[in-house]
A and B are shown apart, each in its own frame.
Chain A
Amino acid sequence: MGTAKGKYAGLAWLVRYRFWRPSFAVAAMSIVITWPCDICAGQTSHGHRHEVAQSEHGLGEASRVERRREQIMRVLSLSDYNTRIVLIGTGLLGISAGVVGPLVVLRKRALVADVISHASLPGIAIAFLTMEMIEPGSGKSLPGLLCGATVGGLTGVAFTAAIRRWTRIREDASLAIVLSIFFGLGIALFTVIQNIPTGNAAGLQHFIYGKAASMVADDVRLIAGTSLVVLVLCGLLFKELTLLAFDQRYAAVQGWPVLLLDAILMTLVVAVTVVGLQSVGLLLVVALLIVPAAAARFWTHHLPRLTLASAAIGGLSAMIGVAVSALYPRLAAGAVIVLVGSAMFVVSMFLGTRRGVLRRMFMHRRLARRVGEQHLLRAFFESTEDTASAGAATFGDLLTMRSWTPRQLQRQLALAQRQGLIDSKGAAGYGLTRRGLEEARRVARNHRLWELYLIRYADIAPTHVDRDADQIEHVLSPELIDELELALEEQDAASSIPSSPHAIGPVAAVAPGAR
């Protein structure tokens, strides 16, 4: 059927280009918005809110606890219309900010987002004044104010771009200049507005600190619409924006309109910022863009996955933040959202599977262990190489082989024993196991190959070569060993171990201070 085909062509097109998972989330949430309000059944077409009786005076302790539990249940089950509205609105905002964020951070434009949010303030003030002038009393019309914010934000970006283009002022300085000029102008205009007799300017302050709780269904529709546009644009231009962020010059050489792409990216930031003003406020909206992106970076090296993770972190922190502030109405939602996001950032920083601190510490520890183990094995090998001690070395023998303290040596021995590389031979000391011997031969061989290489090609004196080789042998890959063999014509079986180019003996005389 022709009509059906036409009807679903758009859908097929959407599905064909992946990246629509966040968009589906948006769609699902939009459906939730249309759930009727359970207080005034069915009327969802108008923006409205209900004052839930907050009075707790006169209630007994037991019923207060009861009431609290009920309140928590209402928030968690999304049955409270007001909370539901706010939750969905800020959740969508968090998701779209989370999607735009990584591109902004990777493009190294994090501070530009801050400029945009601050530059929106004079835009709001001017829009208010203009509307008051045209028709007194209409100043607080939201679409008008948001248009003003958009124009303000874009003007701010244009200013920074112009300063960057035409002067030699450095980027950070130009950003600081534009940010403070616009914010100062905005604050000045706000004081003017306060003193206008006709204009009732109360509520305008919410744009600075945000007031998520005052969100109504119409606001959520605005956020949902904007989010959808932002997500679709991000999905369509993901490849182009990635190239822009990675290598702008190459993009230009290839003929991509770099200026236009940059403008699109900045417009996306402006869009997210402007719809975020009401709920999180202009001071904190930048955190919604930057923090989830930075947190997600600890988990993956894969940009599409990073973007999805960032969207998830953004959406979750926004919704958790709103839920918390619904339970503790004295906590401003915007601040709680940012704090929850920051908590996720800190957790990611430590636990992140790609570059988390703990993972790095773990890797470092593992390397240190391996290095220690290899040192021990080589000491074993060298101390027993020429003697008839039947592969056994005493603690004293080993102690003189390197400049390690008795405690370090003891720990290494214990570790190696647990690994099954050495075993105790009672009075004779310790001996290498079969596996230990194999490993020791390999390590000693690598060490000596590298020593020979350094002596032959890097003109390093045989007496000094030991210490240089000491650092390198642990990182030699099999391919590098092959190359070394080639260079040194040491192509005998891997079992052949060249003899040491320098005297092997106690190092005690060299570094007695190290004990």
Chain B
Amino acid sequence: MNEPASVAYDVDHPSSSPLSIHDMTVAYHRKPVIWDIDYNAEPGELTAIVGPNGAGKSTLLASVLDLVPRVSGHVQFFGKPYHQQRSRVGYVPQRESVDWDFPVNALDVVAMGLYRQIGWCRRVTKPFRQRAMEALQQVGMEAYARRQISQLSGGQQQRVFLARALVQDADLYLMDEPFAGVDAATERAIIDILHHLRSQGKTALVVHHDLQTVREYFDHVLLLNMRLVAAGPTHEVFTDENLRKTYGGKLALLDQVGHQMTLAEPES
């Protein structure tokens, strides 16, 4: 096979998948939010993570990235735990997760994606600034490099976040609602970037809230509502039946059990 090593995928060894999740359960304050997730990401494809509000989409990303502790299960990136693969994984958090009033400009934010490579105590030198600028160009934001980030529109802020992940040149990208509340130009720009990534053999998992565009934008889909409802190629999995399962039933039982668990354990 002529594929680059990073995306080589052996069916017999799912552990070499960009992201493989095994029996993962995650809880906030002892209340489980996602249960028993088993999933292997499709290498070299764009996958949408779809589900209703509170289904645990963001939590899924946060927990595989070790931001939220897992109650059980284990996660591997390209066959190794996350802390050994940080440089190969790019993360685009939700735009609302930071204070955009912060006194830095767009280029400074993008350069943050390189801090790990720059290393402790060193300044952001010219070659690194150059790379950050290239990433901004990729998302069509080079004209705004020196703009303070609060003076950017929501869509432009989202593109800055995207550039911060791109500058890292990772093999797997995890994006949390990059399309939320962005203008048409940004949506177009993000789609172009995703297609470009796919053409380079890279993988992207994107939390997506707009059911209308799932078919159009993504080859694979992961339907999530506290548990994994279905995952696979969009044309097979993104069916009315599965959507009903994802959005219809409130999964009252799981929620109830979760609630019981918080009550059963006394606060210590």
A484 at the A/B interface (Cβ < 8 Å)? no
Among A18, A243, A247, A255, point to the contact of B97 (Cβ < 8 A): A247
- Let me know if A246 is at the binding interface, CB within 8 A: yes
Given A17, A18, A250, which contacts B112 in the complex, CB threshold below 8 Å?
A: A250
B93 touches which one: A18, A245, A249, A256 (CB < 8 A)? A249
Which B residues are in CB contact (< 8 Å) with A246?
98-99, 102, 104, 109, 112
Q: Which residues of A sit under 8 angstroms from B150, Cβ to Cβ?
A: 301
Cross-interface CB contact of A240 among B29, B91, B93, B115, cutoff 8 Å: B115
Q: Which residues of B contact A17 (CB under 8 A)?
A: 121-123
The answer, among A168, A254, A301, A306, for a CB contact under 8 Å with B86, is A254
Q: Does A140 contact B (CB under 8 A)?
A: no
Tell me whether A253 and B105 are in contact in the complex, defined as CB-CB below 8 angstroms, given that A236-B121, A239-B124, A247-B93 are known contacts: no
A196 within 8 A of B: no
Interchain nearest-CB distance for B262 vs A (Å): 11
**Is B266 engaged at the interface, CB distance under 8 Å to the other chain?**
no
Residue of A nearest to B92 (CB): A250
**Residue B67 lies at the interface, judged by CB distance under 8 Å to chain A:** yes
Known contacts A301-B105, A303-B104; A250 and B93 CB within 8 A of each other: yes
Closest-by-CB residue of A relative to B90 is: A253
B191 at the interface (CB under 8 A from A): no
**Which residues from B are CB-within-8-Å of A306?**
103
Is A255 touching B83 in the complex (CB atoms < 8 A)?
yes
Closest chain-B Cβ to A232's Cβ sits at a distance in Å of: 10
Contact A239 B103 (CB under 8 A): no
Given A243-B112, A247-B112, A249-B93, are A106 and B118 also a contact pair (CB < 8 Å)?
Answer: no
Contact with A along B103-121 (1 / 0, CB 8 A): 1110011001101101011
Contact A106 B103 (CB under 8 A): yes
**A252 at the A/B interface (Cβ < 8 Å)?**
yes
Give CA–CA (A300, B103) in the complex, Å. 8
Which residues does chain B contribute within 8 Å of A302, judged by CB atoms?
103-105
Residues of A in contact (CB 8 Å), total 27
Q: Are B120 and A240 in contact (CB under 8 A)?
A: yes
Contact A255 B86 (CB under 8 A): yes
Most buried by B among A106, A242, A246: A246
Whole-angstrom distance from the CB of A513 to the nearest CB of chain B? 37
Q: Could you list 8 examples of A-B contacts with CB < 8 Å?
A: A239-B121, A240-B115, A246-B98, A246-B109, A247-B97, A249-B62, A255-B86, A300-B103
Q: Which chain A residues border B148 with CB–CB below 8 Å?
A: 301
Cβ of A297 under 8 Å from chain B: yes
* A236–B118 alpha-carbon span in the complex (Å): 13
* Cβ of A102 to closest chain B Cβ, rounded Å: 8
Binding site for A on B (CB under 8 A): 29, 62, 65-67, 83, 86, 91, 93, 97-99, 102-105, 108-109, 112-113, 115-116, 118, 120-124, 148, 150, 164
Q: How distant is B86 from chain A, measured CB to nearest CB, in Å?
A: 5
Minimum CB–CB distance for B31 against chain A, Å: 12
- A contact set with B: CB distance below 8 Å: 17-18, 106, 108, 168, 236-237, 239-240, 242-243, 245-247, 249-250, 252-256, 297, 300-303, 306
Q: Bound complex: CA of A240 vs CA of B112, how far in Å?
A: 9
Inter-chain contact A303/B115, CB cutoff 8 Å: no
Contact of A253 (CB < 8 Å), options: B29, B67, B103: B67
Contacts of A301 on B, CB cut-off 8 Å? 103-105, 148, 150
In the bound assembly, the distance between CA atoms of A168 and B122 in angstroms comes to 38
User: CA of A376 to CA of B250 in the docked complex: distance in angstroms?
Assistant: 57
Are A239 and B123 in contact (CB-based, < 8 A)? yes
Chain B's closest residue to A254 (CB) is B116
Q: Which residues of A contact B113 (CB under 8 A)?
A: 254
CA A247 – CA B100 in complex, angstroms?
10
Q: Which residue of B lies closest to A168 (CB)?
A: B29
Residues B115 and A243 in contact, CB atoms below 8 Å apart: yes
CB atoms of B98 and A253 under 8 A apart:
no
Write out the residue numbers on chain A whose beta carbons fall within 8 Å of the beta carbon of B93: 247, 249-250
Question: Contact: A253 with B86, CB < 8 Å?
Answer: yes
B98 contacts A247, C-beta separation under 8 Å: yes
Whether B65 and A253, one on each chain, are in contact in the complex, defined by CB atoms closer than 8 angstroms, is: yes
Q: Among A242, A247, A297, A306, find the residue whose CB has the most chain B CB atoms closer than 10 A.
A: A247
Q: How far is the CA of A239 from the CA of B62 in the complex (A)?
A: 24
CB contacts (< 8 Å) of A242 on chain B: these are: 104
Contact B91–A253 (Cβ < 8 Å)? yes
Nearest first, the 10 A-B pairs at minimum CB distance are A301-B148, A236-B121, A255-B86, A303-B103, A301-B103, A253-B91, A247-B98, A254-B116, A246-B102, A253-B65
- Nearest-neighbour CB distance to chain A for B175, whole angstroms, equals 13
Candidates B97, B99, B118; contact of A239 at CB < 8 Å = B118
Nearest Cβ on chain A to B265's Cβ, whole angstroms:
14
> Nearest chain-A residue to B100 (Cβ)?
A246
User: Smallest CB-CB separation from B164: which chain A residue?
Assistant: A250
